[in-house]
Structure 1
Amino acid sequence: MQITKTLIVSAMLAASAASFAHGEKEHAKGAVPMKMEQKEWGIGGHSNAVKRTVEIRMTDNMRFTPDLVEVKQGETIRFVHVNGGKVMHEFVLGTKKELDEHAALMKKFPNMEHDEPYMAHVGAGKKGEIVWNFNKVGEFDFACLLPGHYEAGMVGKIKVVAK
């Protein structure tokens, strides 16, 4: 009986881990409609509302360029993420607290899959993008939360100023 329970629990955990698989797979934007949820740092934007495009380069030296972006409150930005490296990188918007919590979760579940409008997962040599509306004033963060990348300093800031 104990072996059966152990096998069932193991199978459930394996299935759960598989559903969070990250791997080298890029997320299919638009395949399933993303929920647009208000966050402290804004809300997912619509392509037809984009005011400007900001290219963010990612490299294997664990840096973003630029690592500071200033936007005006209410501005909708298209971020184009260019991964010039040989490994997967990601761009996740949030508060420092949210990013710290997510990074800790990524350490426990390094293959975790997630697809939120404030995240882009970009394979080596590929491009990705997100569209985000910064409807709240403040300083927010972005980071690559893949294990080891965040700790190596792959972070940046978004400064949202009043109109």
Structure 2
Amino acid sequence: MRRVMFLLAVPVLVVLAACGSSDEPSSTAGPDDARVIELEMRDVAFAPTQVDVRAGEKVRFVFRNTGQVTHDAFIGDQAAQDEHEKEMRGGHGDHGKGSDAVSVKPGNTAELTQTFDRPAQILIGCHQPGHYTGGMKVTVNVA
């Protein structure tokens, strides 16, 4: 009887071992081979405020709004940020599907994926009224 139980237990243990987990953090690459960078949206600040990426790197930004109000995230250089700020002030704050921007309600998350083709300094800014001018931005250093 013991031998039968042992023979039955071995395959079960092998399967369980194959399904085991580890306390080590998972890879920063997502299912699409994009590097994942998580950004927290606070009341009028992002955390972290600076990230470094490599030219040619595909990055998936995951925005988690822990603040009390809706935030947005727009990816672009300084000229694009200035233009987007004007659009938002003019009441054209809709971020269509496929744009370089998302709006995130409190307690929610959203994602943007971007490939950085060449070295540059790119910004991610929140253009809700007063947020960008109040310093709610992330500097993305592409080297």
Work out whether the TM-score is over 0.5: yes
Aligned-pair Cα RMSD in Å: 1.6
Correspondence for 2:132: 150
Alignment of 1:59 with 2:31, yes or no, is: no
| Displacement over 6 Å in runs of 4+ | none
What's the secondary structure of 1:106's corresponding residue?
helix
Please point out which of 64, 80, 103 is paired with 2:85.
103
Q: What is the aligned-residue identity percentage?
A: 31
Letter in 1 for 2:113: V
Letter in 2 for 1:124: P
Structure 2 length-normalised TM: 0.73
Q: Shift of the alpha carbon at 1:142? A: 1.1
Correspondence for 2:93: 112
Higher Cα Rg: structure 1 or 2?
Answer: 2
Does the Cα contact within 8 Å between 2:65 and 2:106 map onto a contact in 1?
Answer: yes
5+ residue gaps in structure 2? 1-29
**How many angstroms apart in 2 are the aligned matches of 1:113 and 1:146?**
11
Instruction: Decide whether aligned partners of structure 1 residues 47 and 113 sit closer, same or farther in structure 2, where only a CA change above 3 A counts.
Output: farther
Correspondence for 1:134: 116
**Count of residues in correspondence between the two structures:** 113
Structure 1 length-normalised TM: 0.65
Letter in 2 for 1:55: E
